[in-house]
Structure 1
């Protein structure tokens, strides 16, 4: 529990440092990609159905003639009895032979019927396999079409960006901002528009209300009560962390946009960092501005952000800053973002 808290606070406290560790430029050409096809996986349809085994037939009956009487047995009517025994044996053999022949015919017919069923099932499998292959080929073809369309759109996007089409510049900024991942405990949203005539990007960044941030300093086990007790952060610690996060978000946003815009399409940024909330007085939605600042590319690019104190940098840029972001005291934006510092 405490390790998770430490990790969360480190993420919030390193909002600016985190972005300085990465290059925010997006190479749009790398977003082009060929179609990726999964392997054809028809499952059981790919396996031929095993044919039924040939019937294991009993051996045909073998005629065994009764032995002829020997010695005195043959002299006293034995030959006649032997002849009778032969007739009986032959009759039994013929009967057994006919039964065996019927048995063979029946088993062979059963096997033939099983083979017919197998042939029908195999034909059905092959037909389904062929349809699955057709489906797979159609899906592959569609993936190829979709990939080509996406790549053509990217080519158009890259060309539009090169020729300063405002919507393309705005879309590129959106891609850059979508790559800017904030901590779960400090979610951030963006809104922006670009004016080609002034080459200025107007940006609004929405940070969470202070109440969203965790307030627990640590958890400790109280043996006497056999329970885990939370120790709260001091009010000052909460205020300092939130204020720093707001100020770092402002500088982080400016840095990400200017760094990602290698071609220099954007020459200045007018930035407002605020909180969306329900106004206590009216019950209506409102945005409370906490930072309002304008920065030019040439000026901002000279800063060494790794060593700055964010609030001082914003003041240096002539920004309007809330005197108490934690209590959502609005910044004095009456003079407008471009009038600050004059």
Structure 2
């Protein structure tokens, strides 16, 4: 018994020793794998920094490869989708007499009775089929008329749009200053050569006598060049260490970026000049920053150049040193210490030209009360276009009470929209709403919208209730403009008039958080996810909230159970989002386990509902429908403004590769 007990003790000792050895081996392996992961992550961050610097260094060369802007690229084709009657294309099937044969009846009277019953049933079914066929033909004719009206309205809108493009190009040929500025501004804004995050603010004027375009163009700030040069993982401290980029190298690269930016602007302008309008371009580059001397935010000019067409078109930009080309070949000026915001002396500014200076972009809010009526109508038309519709302003005469013609291409609930604008300071009278309703009926529109800088009384809202009318007040107009990237304010000495808080402002939540409820039609199972990003890159994999990661590390975003009518919900504390984050992106993707063969064609009538902590609805926003073949969709993104507020920007980009393809575009590696 003693020997047996001794053997048991020895066996147990060996077992524990082996378990300890395995545990240590597992710990070493886990530690090794963890270190390898951290080292790989550090290498990935270093590669991202290298790629960012390479993109900055190749900015000019890449931009020169892009196709030159042409006015023809803005024209639209009149091709319309063919008429699709759907199920109405199939006639109602008439009853077959051979299927109505009398059976049974042992006597002549009974047989006659059975035959009469069968004949009566056949006639009843035949008349019902005839009535159904007549109804089908009526519905088909109505659908055909509706299709013809819609397509004709779309063709008319395309013709008006193309006519507007033609007027601009003809104005460019004549040297009309407004047309020249509009055309070349479009050339700069349509360019895809600029990296995301680069500013695109421009002020321009055209000297028709000298055939010179004079413009100020905003340049990127010093932070466009990464401060870190590389990242390495230090196992002893279990943390990443950044190696700073030498100050001289960073400053030199920034000067190179500024020089490339000016040369690229000149290249795009001269390449777009298919009508030979420009003999020269006077270009000033500025940054929007705080003046070191006064502390006030202003435009600080870091570069300037005046380029003659003959001299510039003889340059081989793909092979030049940008700084030398700008300062020596073109005799321009470039700040020697742009990181310290030392300005250069300008030659000619847009304000020096006699005609009106046109400004695009920037932070200056135009006062809607003081805006020219035609400009105000154009701004409203731009708003409708930014919301995904087709919109043009009408002629000043014979417009039938319509200021803007709009067409919503959304199937079923879309259609022709007539818009009237009232630049009032006092309440809009109910007669204006009644007049709009009459116009909607006269022109056969699907909807009427009345836009004003003021507001509406109870009588107007009472009349509009239940009718295809929408009333937009001044406060709602300002909110819509800001939400869709446009600008405008309502008086008060340059400050926006206090308006109702945006339904998507985090300030609407009393305790600092909101719930975003997602609802949609269709039976497809979807995963609704969120990414906390800086630009178009997620901060980290932990800042991707989805079914396997229910919240961010700081808890500012978390998935929560949805309450009817919502099918998914997220809780967001906007004020608690990381300082580095400037974008909060919402996405939806088909659940491949539940619906492996499905796409987003059934994802319709979707909207985001903003709820307070008590689950009271504060506002809602419709988002884009899904499309056939796509399995993931960006619903939209909240973007942080300079004042700390968050604005919602509608999404709509779809992906055929599902959630995996989508998140890879935002910088998440998928195994």
TM range (shorter): 0.7 to 0.9
Residue 103 (structure 2) aligned to one of 53, 59, 67: 59
Structure 2: how far apart are the matches of 1:221 and 1:300?
48
Alignment of 1:274 onto 2:274: no
Q: 1:14 aligns with which of 55, 58, 61?
A: 58
Task: Report the Cα offset of residue 155 of structure 1.
Answer: 3.5
Stretch deviating more after TM superposition (119-128 or 151-160): 151-160
CA-atom RMSD, angstroms? 3.5
Contact 1:187–1:207 (CA<8 Å) still a contact in 2?
A: yes
Q: Does 1:46 align with 2:57?
A: no
**3-state SS of 2:315 partner:** coil
Equivalent residue for 1:337?
Answer: 347
- Superposed displacement of residue 185, structure 1: 4.3
Distance in 2 between the 1:233 and 1:108 partners?
Answer: 95
Q: Residues 98-154 of structure 1: CA distance to partner in whole angstroms, max 9, x if unpaired?
A: 556545544543443333222222211111111111122222323333343334334
1:292-335 Cα offsets, whole Å, 9 max, x none, are 222222333343323322222222244332233234x13232xx
Distance of 2:133 and 2:231 partners within structure 1: 67
What residue number does 2:400 align with? none
| Inter-CA distance 122–230: structure 2 relative to 1 (3 Å threshold) | farther
1:130 to 129, 138, 141: 141
Q: Of residues 172, 184, 192 in structure 1, which corresponds to 2:183?
A: 172
Structure richer in strand, relative to its length: 2
2:102–2:118 CA contact under 8 A, matched in 1: no
Q: Label 1:15 to 1:191 Cα distance change in 2 as closer, same or farther (>3 A).
A: farther
Which residue of the other structure, out of 324, 337, 340, is the alignment partner of 2:337? 324
TM score, norm. by length of structure 1? 0.73
Tell me: CA distance 1:139–1:309, structure 2 relative to 1, closer, same or farther (3 Å): same
Q: Distance in 1 between matches of 2:258 and 2:125?
A: 78
Partner of 1:194: 206
What does residue 30 of structure 2 align with?
none
Bigger drift between 189-198 and 315-324 goes to 315-324
Counterpart of 2:39 in structure 1 is none
Higher helix share: 1
* 2:348 pairs with 1:304: no
Q: Is the 8 A contact 2:169 2:183 kept in 1?
A: no
Q: Which moved further from structure 2: 192-201 or 145-154?
A: 145-154
Equivalent in the alignment of 1:250:
262
- Using the size of structure 2 for normalisation, the TM-score is 0.40
Q: Deviations over 1:35-82 (max 9, x none)?
A: 111111121111223345655656324xxxxxxxxxxxxxxxxxxxxx
Pair member with larger Rg:
1
Higher relative contact order (CA closer than 8 Å, sequence separation 6+): 1
